[in-house]
Amino acid sequence: MRRFPARPPLAALLLALAGCHGQGGAQPAAEVPAKPGPVSRAATIPKGVEVKGKLVAAYSWRDSAGDNLLVLGETHEDRASDETESSRLYAAQYRVDAGRPKRLWALNDGVDQCLFDASAEFDLPAVSFPILGRDGARAVALAYRQTCTSDVSPNEYKLILHAGKGKFGLRGADRYGVRNRDQKTGEVEGLRLPADCSAGAQRDLLRREGGSLFEPPLPGCYQDENDFAKAPPAYLEYMKKQWFKRMRELDQAWLDGQTA
């Protein structure tokens, strides 16, 4: 009868494998980045950080990439000799290494030479610092509104995401002045807040409302999702959630202001 060699005990096999690992066989798993630290309002700004206009907010945090700082500045110029107004916005993220800041990106936007009333301001409640990837770094999402008008009407509204080296945005209009509450009956009149910004959904809403003074993109909607065509799906998912959340809050704040 043919005899086969006895199998080595399981414990011996495990010890042998462990020895191979120690001798350069399989490499250990990569270290998982530490969980990012909390975000806090910065009390001081390091030397070398540029702020254009009046500093309205600054945020600091530490993540897998290091120490970070976000600064937000606003500038408003009253009527000039040409009878126009201008309002400008500035935002920048810095990486601070041993007290030495290095700017990663900057945003400049606003309204120039407006013949009516110019306004541009950050929407601070909409600023957030999500963790959207597996690298342990925080992204930056910020929002602002701007307008050049002389009446009560929606503002241009932008929700911008900076993640890694990419910039992605949803751009549309907010809900300022869209709905009104009857002071006697308390009933609300005006175009309802869209729950979906697709072209078909906006047309359906207009049909149900029996028409409107507004045309797509409707107040409370963004124009398109083109910036996210090649972005990870988590980016657009997060931004859409933030957009509609903030639009609901702004819509309600406008109505509440009418009864204050």
Residues 227 and 248: their CA atoms lie apart, in Å, by 23
Give the pLDDT of residue 18: 41
Residue ranges in the chain modelled with pLDDT below 70: 1-34, 260
Give the pLDDT of residue 2: 41
pLDDT digits (tens, 9 = 90+) for 175-223: 999 999 988 888 999 999 999 999 999 999 999 998 788 999 999 999 9
**In this structure, which amino acid lies at residue 155?**
N
Give the pLDDT of residue 7: 45
Do residues 68 and 46 lie in contact, with contact meaning Cβ atoms separated by under 8 Å? no
- How many beta carbons lie within 10 A of that of residue 162, not counting itself? 20
**Global pTM value:** 0.85
Residues 189 and 182: their CA atoms lie apart, in Å, by 8
Residues 112 and 116: their CA atoms lie apart, in Å, by 11
CA dist 150 to 119, 155, 191, Å? 11, 12, 21
Give the pLDDT of residue 190: 93
Do residues 132 and 139 lie in contact, with contact meaning Cβ atoms separated by under 8 Å? yes
